[in-house]
Amino acid sequence: MDLLDREACHRVFQTRDARFDGRIFVGVVTTGIYCRPVCPARGAKLENCRFFASAAAAQEAGFRPCLRCRPETAPDLASWRGTSNTVSRALALIADGGLDGGEAGVDALAERLGVGGRQLRRLFQQHLGASPIAVAQTRRVLFAKQLIHETRMSMAEVALASGFGSVRRFNETFKRMFRRPPSAIRRRTAAGAPDAAAGVTLRLRYKPPYDWDAMLRYLADRAIDGVEEVAGGVYRRTVAHDGKTGTVEVAHEPERHNLAVTVRFPCVRAVPAILARVRRVFDVGADIETIGAHLSRDPFLAPLVAQRPGLRAPGGWDGFELAVRAVLGQQVTVGAARKLASQLVALCGETLTDPVSRVFPSPDRVAGADLGALGMPGARRDALKALAAAAQGDPHLFRPFGTIEEAIARLRSIRGIGEWTAQYIALRALRETDAFPASDIGLLRGATRRRGMRPTPAALLRRAEPWRPWRAYAAQHLWARSG
């Protein structure tokens, strides 16, 4: 919907149309508050409304978040993906703390994305209606508000977890934006909040439909012994961050369109980074209706999308871990790759005392390990060593970088990383929505129209051209079709 069409936007809010939740926000000039389309409050007159493409744009315009509809709980949709992959990559880096350094970090962020600082600011204004700094600050404040609402963390812990340098700065920012101290919100919502001693539980909202069963099957089929497990409809795994370890578990709340994420970690500062990984793995931010509508233009894909309308593109928990899995999976089955990964973890992974008892090894551990005990060809062991060395040399190796073509070329420069492996890493770890490992046997099988007439990778690439910029999601449907 064009946000310049004020009357159409106003009808969305009058009818509380949930289809636009996370896509547009309304600021009411008479109250100074901005809301989601699903807000239960009485709607304002059109002349008193201003409409925004993001919460950051509303806050940059001087509006404060509604305490009833809680904009921080809106689905974090990426409906503009495909019109600006640069913005998509930038948001992923911001979620990982890419602008914690303030305005000075915008130019560095732009450099990583292969654009100029002015162009990045222009793209953010065009697609989100706000500057990169405003987006980062809004995320920080709304995350703090969510922590206050949903946990019993102390205000000092909330300030640290949401990226504020001090409790004083946190209090000042909160009072300026909400016209009340953070403790006022805590008093209204503390009842029934989970005890912090049992872990921090937060909810990530998604835009339905969501094929949870398919996601769990994918994770269960690849679960590494000791590192992760799927049991009772819940995914659990170990977490390593900045030299510390803990656990995370993810459950589904379909009636509320939420994922319930429980983090048990010794440092509250790590909570945002861990939640960003959960969003990446479970593809929470996909605007699945928009993607499905685009892919359904192809008569071949249309019935596949109709059969699995909520199919997501699972991500990788950690870039290096995913890349190692990809190398181990070269020319072997999923089960064989899982067995090799479990052997690697047993060989050089860190041991814990939890039920999920091991942490996936770091690049340093893999680089220093004797991999001769792994039952695989020497060339693949050499590729693992080269991968570990590359990760040691560049801590940003598995973060968004330039265009997708540049990212693929960068990965392919590592010894033992071919086109299939690079595309797979880009799809799962870099979250490139247009990555497409066309030589994959499963994709070729899924794209077969007639028995015994499997297309060539080149033919499949030509066939997939209309699927851009969401070829990664088309790949998920082809894999599902191939069984």
Say if residue 323's pLDDT is above 80. yes
Quickly state the pLDDT bin for 350 (edges 50, 70, 90).
Answer: confident
Q: What is the CA radius of gyration of the chain?
A: 23
User: What pLDDT, on a 0 to 100 scale, did the predictor assign at position 190?
Assistant: 47
Quickly state the pLDDT bin for 418 (edges 50, 70, 90).
Answer: very high
Is residue 434 annotated as part of the catalytic site, yes or no? no
What average pLDDT does this structure show over 78-106?
69
* 79 within some domain: no
What average pLDDT does this structure show over 302-315?
96
* 471 within some domain: yes
The CA-based angle 207-87-242, given to 5 degrees, is 85
In this predicted model, what pLDDT tens digit does every residue of 163-220 receive, in sequence order? 887 888 888 888 888 888 888 877 554 444 444 446 899 999 999 999 999 999 999 9
Quickly state the pLDDT bin for 316 (edges 50, 70, 90).
Answer: very high
User: What pLDDT, on a 0 to 100 scale, did the predictor assign at position 196?
Assistant: 45
The first and second tokens of residue 75, run together, are 């689905």
User: What pLDDT, on a 0 to 100 scale, did the predictor assign at position 355?
Assistant: 62
Candidate list 283, 318, 434, 440, residue with the active-site label: 440
* 230 within some domain: yes
* 62 within some domain: yes
User: What pLDDT, on a 0 to 100 scale, did the predictor assign at position 331?
Assistant: 80
Question: Which of 52, 73, 94 is the last residue in one of the domains?
Answer: 73
Say if residue 84's pLDDT is above 70. no
User: What pLDDT, on a 0 to 100 scale, did the predictor assign at position 83?
Assistant: 52
Residues 445, 404, single domain; the answer is no
Say if residue 80's pLDDT is above 60. no
User: What pLDDT, on a 0 to 100 scale, did the predictor assign at position 354?
Assistant: 63
Q: Buried (b) or exposed (e) across 152-187, using 16+ Cβ within 10 A? A: bbebebbbbbbbbeebeebbebbeebbeeebeebbe
Strand order in the sheet with 228-231: 200-205, 258-264, 244-253, 234-241, 228-231
The type of residue at 251 is A
Question: Which of 285, 303, 333 is the last residue in one of the domains?
Answer: 285
How high is the mean pLDDT of the chain? Answer: 88
Residues 308, 441, single domain; the answer is yes
Residues 426, 325, single domain; the answer is yes
* 1 within some domain: no
User: What pLDDT, on a 0 to 100 scale, did the predictor assign at position 137?
Assistant: 85
Residues 235, 371, single domain; the answer is no
Residue 19: CATH number of its domain: 3.40.10.10
Minimum mean pLDDT among 92-101, 105-114, 164-173, 302-311: which range?
92-101
Minimum mean pLDDT among 71-75, 226-230, 288-292: which range?
71-75
Residues 140, 157, single domain; the answer is yes
Residue 112: CATH number of its domain: 1.10.10.60
User: What pLDDT, on a 0 to 100 scale, did the predictor assign at position 152?
Assistant: 84
Say if residue 458's pLDDT is above 50. yes
Q: Count structural domains, the chain.
A: 5
Say if residue 252's pLDDT is above 70. yes
- Between 242 and 278, the higher pLDDT residue: 278
What average pLDDT does this structure show over 80-87?
62
- Cβ contact 226:235 at 8 Å: no
User: What pLDDT, on a 0 to 100 scale, did the predictor assign at position 332?
Assistant: 85
Is residue 440 annotated as part of the catalytic site, yes or no? yes
In this predicted model, what pLDDT tens digit does every residue of 280-302 receive, in sequence order? 999 998 889 889 999 999 999 99
* 78 within some domain: no
The first and second tokens of residue 292, run together, are 């499905």
Say if residue 4's pLDDT is above 70. no
Question: Which of 141, 174, 189 is the last residue in one of the domains?
Answer: 189
User: What pLDDT, on a 0 to 100 scale, did the predictor assign at position 269?
Assistant: 86
Pairing of strands 244-253, 258-264: antiparallel
What average pLDDT does this structure show over 390-418?
89
Residues 63, 105, single domain; the answer is no
Q: Which of 85-89, 271-275, 459-463 has the largest mean confidence?
A: 459-463
User: What pLDDT, on a 0 to 100 scale, did the predictor assign at position 351?
Assistant: 80
Say if residue 21's pLDDT is above 80. yes
* 59 within some domain: yes
Quickly state the pLDDT bin for 103 (edges 50, 70, 90).
Answer: low
What average pLDDT does this structure show over 137-165?
88
Candidate list 9, 21, 35, 69, residue with the active-site label: 35
Residues 446, 300, single domain; the answer is yes
Say if residue 223's pLDDT is above 60. yes
Residues 419, 326, single domain; the answer is yes
Residue 214: CATH number of its domain: 3.30.310.20
Domain span at residue 403 reads 319-432
Torsion of CA 256, 258, 259, 261, to 10 degrees: -90
Residues 323, 427, single domain; the answer is yes
What average pLDDT does this structure show over 52-63?
90
Residues 6+ apart with CB under 8 A from 111: none
DSSP three-state, residue 97: coil
The first and second tokens of residue 458, run together, are 């080149």
How far from the centroid of its chain's Cα atoms is residue 424's Cα? 16
Residues 111, 96, single domain; the answer is yes
User: What pLDDT, on a 0 to 100 scale, did the predictor assign at position 79?
Assistant: 42
